């Protein structure tokens, strides 16, 4: 089946230009000058962008358990989240699923996390509209998670692996007060329980290095993409870079982000940070890193609709071109994740496309995955015509 989309504004090759897009089966077949093709669905001046690629989102946790203790069936939660992601313009999602048996967040134990990955894999092959992939997050003190992670990697069910260290004394929790400020009110911890948790973290971290090196070697041998999380100093970046880690997600300060990029690592920040103009955790603003050229891509972190809003915050409030802003959620994450079949509107690539209405607050009005509309609002109800 062939379909044709026409718009005065299409994001192609780093610029916004008029064009007709010919789609055939899953792919973009050809790109013609605007007005060339007969029988085209004319979208006027609505913007056509490649589908958004989200390398890190915890939103699956909130979908399954929107309130503490209020759990929903995983398969139905995945189906509902998939619909919401398509409405946000996300066509490739890396669900960030954490392995941390010491976590106070109930959904991060090894068995629960492994089961969730299995269900994402199963549902992606049968029920879901967009590409739902897996970003497995390994807490460096969760030794008992290693076997499960390796099994999932060997089964081809993990596409990205990141390394987390949420222990006291570094990263987001540089002091006991910062750790307590985050954990105590949410989990209602007593002083005795705080002492117990922190003591266990310190003891296990002293034994973590060998396990960490073995996991990294295992992943490198299988060409799994590796990321670090919440890096806070240049010394840590040096060690991680030498071990083959290519992505620094959420660096906590300017110096660390700049050093990561100097070592050839890609740096990513949360789109909500850009929209809000500040970090939810009190760390550096993503806008500061973007202004200095030390942030390569954006991910939704915990709020998928922020992807599009961050693009327009960069464009309208920071003076960045719309094309360069879109690259942070399309072509750049595609290259970083080695997904050569998407992220750009180019003949031969997947017809993962988003139609955006942006006269006022920008909104997605249609999303196509492999040429098939998976979301279509009333304001964009005319469907591409088949030929």
Domain 2-49+345-380 class in CATH: mainly beta
Please write the tens of the pLDDT for every residue from 122-157: 999 999 999 999 999 999 888 899 999 999 999 999
- CATH architecture for segment(s) 52-336: Alpha-Beta Barrel (3.20)
pLDDT of residue 258: 98
Please write the tens of the pLDDT for every residue from 47-88: 999 999 999 999 999 999 998 789 999 999 999 999 999 999
Domains 2-49+345-380 and 52-336 share a fold: no
Entry pTM? 0.90
Please write the tens of the pLDDT for every residue from 158-209: 999 999 986 655 556 655 666 556 555 555 567 777 666 666 666 566 677 8
| Domain ranges for the chain | 2-49+345-380, 52-336
Strand partners for 79: none
């Amino acid at each position: 089946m062939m379909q044709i989309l026409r718009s005065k504004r299409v994001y192609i090759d780093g610029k916004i230009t008029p064009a007709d897009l010919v789609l055939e089966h899953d792919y973009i077949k050809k790109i013609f000058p605007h007005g060339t093709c007969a029988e085209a669905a004319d979208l006027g001046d609505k913007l056509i962008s490649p589908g958004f690629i989200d390398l890190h989102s915890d939103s699956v946790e909130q979908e399954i358990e929107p309130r503490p203790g209020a759990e929903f069936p995983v398969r139905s939660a995945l189906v509902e989240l998939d619909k919401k992601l398509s409405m946000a313009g996300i066509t490739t999602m890396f669900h960030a699923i954490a392995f941390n048996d010491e976590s106070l967040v109930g959904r991060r134990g090894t068995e629960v996390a492994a089961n969730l990955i299995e269900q994402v894999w199963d549902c992606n092959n049968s029920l879901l509209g967009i590409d739902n992939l897996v970003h497995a997050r390994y807490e460096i003190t969760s030794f008992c998670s290693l076997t499960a992670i390796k099994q999932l990697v060997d089964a081809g069910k993990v596409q990205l692996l990141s390394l987390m260290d949420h222990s006291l004394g570094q990263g987001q929790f540089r002091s006991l007060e910062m750790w307590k400020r985050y954990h105590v009110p949410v989990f209602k911890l007593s002083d005795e329980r705080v002492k117990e948790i922190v003591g266990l973290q310190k003891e296990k971290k002293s034994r973590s290095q060998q396990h960490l090196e073995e996991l990294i070697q295992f992943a490198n041998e299988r060409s799994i993409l590796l990321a670090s999380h919440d890096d806070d100093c240049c010394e840590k970046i040096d060690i991680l870079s030498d071990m083959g880690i290519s992505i620094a997600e959420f660096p906590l300060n300017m110096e660390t982000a700049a050093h990561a990029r100097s070592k050839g690592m890609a740096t990513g920040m949360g789109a909500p940070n850009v929209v809000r103009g500040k970090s939810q955790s009190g760390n550096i603003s993503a806008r500061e890193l973007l202004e200095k050229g030390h942030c390569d891509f954006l991910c939704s972190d915990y709020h998928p609709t922020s992807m599009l809003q961050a693009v327009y915050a960069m464009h309208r409030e920071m003076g960045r071109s719309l094309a360069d802003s879109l690259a942070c959620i399309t072509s750049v994450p595609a290259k970083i994740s080695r997904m050569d079949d998407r992220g750009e509107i180019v003949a031969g690539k997947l017809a993962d496309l988003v139609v955006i209405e942006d006269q006022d607050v920008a909104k997605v009005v249609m999303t196509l995955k492999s040429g098939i509309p998976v979301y279509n609002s009333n304001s964009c109800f005319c469907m591409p015509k088949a030929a």
